[in-house]
Amino acid sequence: MSKGRKVWFLSILSIFFGALLLVSGNTEVKASGINDYIISNKIQPAKIQYREGTFSEWFGYENGVGKPEGVVVHETATPGVNAEQFVTSFNNNWKTQQTYVHAFTDDKETINIHSADYGVWGAGPAANYRYIQIELCRVNGYDAFAHSIANDAFYVASKLIQYNLPDIPGQTVLSHHQISLKYHETTHVDPDTYFAAQGYSMDEMNSMISYYYNNLKNYGNVYAEGGNTNAGSNNNGSTPSANVLRVNNSNGNYVPIMALKNDGTFARVTNRALMNNTDWQTDKTKESNGVTYRRVATNEWVDTTYVI
Ligand SMILES: [Zn+2]
């Protein structure tokens, strides 16, 4: 290639990339507004509340109990119904509606109603046997939407970390729309339509999830610096109720989970853990070798020395 042609070629290239930058720059200004708003205001995502729901179909994933492959992001498509109301409705109607998910979130709270160690009925058999599933409730207004996105992204990031999964959009984090395209068992396209109406997108959601995921991994906090160390706090400083434990491992990043064996002793669960400073509903207490354990899921127990 002659020098003259090279210069010509490079200028065409620079025009081309200049146009690309301009386009992506414009897109970013519009689409990352919500994420920028969340981050610049250091919006604290709601703590995940763990409440055992009524769903009694306990089935493991294709890789086994406690081995989800990722998280599906849903949107309820129902204006005016919040997470609390959906939880009540699903707990009452899952048998007739034939649908259940792990969690609901809105702008104020995130409620986990079925242990993510087990599958649910949210997006067709292929997805149900692979993924954790959360429903985002519709809210009104920019600030409320931003809070709901922070809550949703925090839940997804937390579950990826809890199950030692990488954060790979399209592989470990999928919209219901992507699930429909991948497995052809449902035709739903959520949350794309709702996101678009808010000037948001699944790509932006993935950016928000990655932001929280990386900060949680590196700093144990959703915000890397200058953030509130009480990550995931939205309880207004309230203390947990009597049947709720708050756990923390002051010597590490995560609280170990123990499984009760048939002989009555406990063994460490190695492929998952509880995040520091999280609340868990508990229903049973058991002693073994001088250690007191509290049950936080079907066969997940925590040493009470981690209870704060
Ligand atoms: Zn859906």
Question: Are 209 and 261 in the same domain?
Answer: no
Confidence tier at 249 by pLDDT (50, 70, 90):
confident
Question: Are 72 and 191 in the same domain?
Answer: yes
Query: What is the reported pLDDT for 250?
Result: 76
d(CA 191, ligand 1 centre) in Å: 7
Domain membership flag for residue 21? no
d(CA 219, ligand 1 centre) in Å: 32
Structure tokens at 98: 């034939």
Query: What is the reported pLDDT for 228?
Result: 43
Query: What is the reported pLDDT for 73?
Result: 98
Query: What is the reported pLDDT for 6?
Result: 46
Residue after which a domain boundary falls, among 168, 202, 219: 219
Pairing of strands 131-136, 70-75: parallel
Query: What is the reported pLDDT for 180?
Result: 97
Question: Using omega within 30 degrees of 0 as the cis cutoff, is the peptide bond preceding 240 cis?
Answer: no
What is the rounded CA–CA span in Å between residue 206 and residue 16?
A: 27
Question: Are 212 and 267 in the same domain?
Answer: no
d(CA 135, ligand 1 centre) in Å: 7
Residue that wins the pLDDT comparison between 271 and 56: 56
Question: Are 47 and 121 in the same domain?
Answer: yes
Question: Are 195 and 84 in the same domain?
Answer: yes
* The total number of structural domains that make up the chain: 2
Q: Is the pLDDT of residue 10 over 80?
A: no
pLDDT in tens, 51-91: 999 999 999 999 999 999 999 999 999 999 999 999 999 99
Question: Are 172 and 258 in the same domain?
Answer: no
Question: Are 215 and 260 in the same domain?
Answer: no
Say which residues have a Cβ less than 8 Å from residue 56's Cβ, sequence separation at least 6: none
Query: What is the reported pLDDT for 283?
Result: 80
Domain membership flag for residue 265? yes
Other Cβ atoms within 10 Å of 40 Cβ, number: 8
Helix axes 202-219, 33-40, angle to 10 degrees: 30
d(CA 5, ligand 1 centre) in Å: 53
What is the rounded CA–CA span in Å between residue 137 and residue 139?
A: 6
d(CA 267, ligand 1 centre) in Å: 36
Residue that wins the pLDDT comparison between 30 and 249: 249
Mean per-residue pLDDT for 162-171?
A: 97
pLDDT in tens, 217-247: 999 899 986 444 444 443 333 445 567 788 8
Q: What is the CATH number of the domain that holds 211?
A: 3.40.80.10
Say which residues have a Cβ less than 8 Å from residue 259's Cβ, sequence separation at least 6: 266, 267, 268, 269, 299, 300, 301
pLDDT in tens, 92-143: 999 999 999 999 999 999 999 999 999 999 999 999 999 999 999 999 999 9
Mean pLDDT of the chain: 85
d(CA 84, ligand 1 centre) in Å: 18
Query: What is the reported pLDDT for 289?
Result: 79
d(CA 308, ligand 1 centre) in Å: 36
d(CA 190, ligand 1 centre) in Å: 5
Confidence tier at 1 by pLDDT (50, 70, 90):
very low
User: Which range (68-77, 116-125, 174-183, 296-305) has the least confidence?
Assistant: 296-305
Confidence tier at 170 by pLDDT (50, 70, 90):
very high
Domain membership flag for residue 20? no
- In the chain, pLDDT over 70 holds for what percent of residues? 84
Query: What is the reported pLDDT for 287?
Result: 86
Q: Is the pLDDT of residue 285 over 50?
A: yes
Domain membership flag for residue 151? yes
Confidence tier at 187 by pLDDT (50, 70, 90):
very high
Task: Please write down the HEC assignment for all residues of the chain.
Answer: CCHHHHHHHHHHHHHHHHHHHHHHHHHHHHHCHHHHHHHHCCCCCCCEEECCCCCCCCCCECCECCCCCEEEEEECCCCCCCHHHHHHHHHHHHHHHCCCCCEEECCCCEEECCCCCCCCCCCCHHHHCCEEEEEECCCCCHHHHHHHHHHHHHHHHHHHHHCCCCCCECCCEEEHHHHHHHHCCCCCCCCHHHHHHCCCCHHHHHHHHHHHHHHHHHHCCCCCCCCCCCCCCCCCCCCCCCCEEEECCCCCCEEEEEEECCCCCEEEEEEEEEECCEEEECCCEEEECCEEEEEEECCEEEEHHHEC
Query: What is the reported pLDDT for 233?
Result: 42
Place of tokens 């996101």: 195
Confidence tier at 195 by pLDDT (50, 70, 90):
very high
Mean per-residue pLDDT for 43-54?
A: 95
Highest mean pLDDT among 112-116, 264-268, 280-284: 112-116
Q: Where in the sequence is the domain holding 291, given as residue range(s)?
A: 244-306
Question: Are 259 and 292 in the same domain?
Answer: yes
Mean per-residue pLDDT for 36-64?
A: 96
d(CA 123, ligand 1 centre) in Å: 6
Question: Are 187 and 295 in the same domain?
Answer: no
Say which residues have a Cβ less than 8 Å from residue 264's Cβ, sequence separation at least 6: 288
